[in-house]
Homo-oligomer: A and B are copies of this chain.
Amino acid sequence: MGNKKTIIVFSGDLDKAMAAFIIATGAAAMGDDVTMFFTFWGLNILRKAKKVQVRKDFLERMFGFMMPRGPEKLGLSKMNFGGLGAKMMRYIMKRKNVNTLTELMENAQALGVKIIACTMSMDVMGIKKEELIDGIDYAGVATYLGEADEANVNLFI
């Protein structure tokens, strides 16, 4: 029987998202029960690559337009150079046979990592359920706290 881990994914940067999923899949592969709670910019990681038709007001539409849609569009937290850094990082990782973020996310779901989108952040940023990947849960801070209370490792990324 493994332990429980939680990770709050606040950041929507490619490098931090990779770190989060490497830890999550590593722990899940070792038998741990892992919960990832996506909030603020972290929600962008869960967005579908294709535009989804949903009702949004003007500001929500603008926000949605400016924020990256899914793992293939994220930038680096440092040395991004308008996306060039992220491209270079993706190229290097492919050459070195490191799992892409998309693969890590699929692995995480296959390994039973629980992915939760923060409903309050979704409301603020105007992100709708239809825009996020399938097989995830929706909840708020109380759910996160309940999970964290049962875990022995809790990270904020």
Copies of this chain present = 3
Asked whether, in the complex, the Cβ of B142 is within 8 Å of the Cβ of A124, the reply is no
Residues in B whose Cβ lies below 8 Å from that of A16 = 10
Contact partner, A156, options B15, B78, B155, Cβ 8 Å? B155
Per a CB cutoff under 8 Å, which of B27, B124, B148, B156 touches A96? B124
* Chain B proximity of A140: nearest CB distance (Å): 8
Which residues of A come within 8 Å of B, CB atoms?
Answer: 3, 8, 10, 12, 15-16, 19, 22-23, 26-27, 30, 32, 39-41, 59, 63, 66-67, 77-79, 88-89, 91-93, 96, 98, 120, 123-124, 126, 141-142, 144-145, 148-149, 151-157
Q: List 14 A-B contacts (CB under 8 A).
A: A3-B149, A8-B155, A10-B15, A12-B78, A15-B41, A19-B39, A23-B144, A26-B142, A26-B144, A27-B145, A59-B91, A98-B120, A148-B153, A149-B152
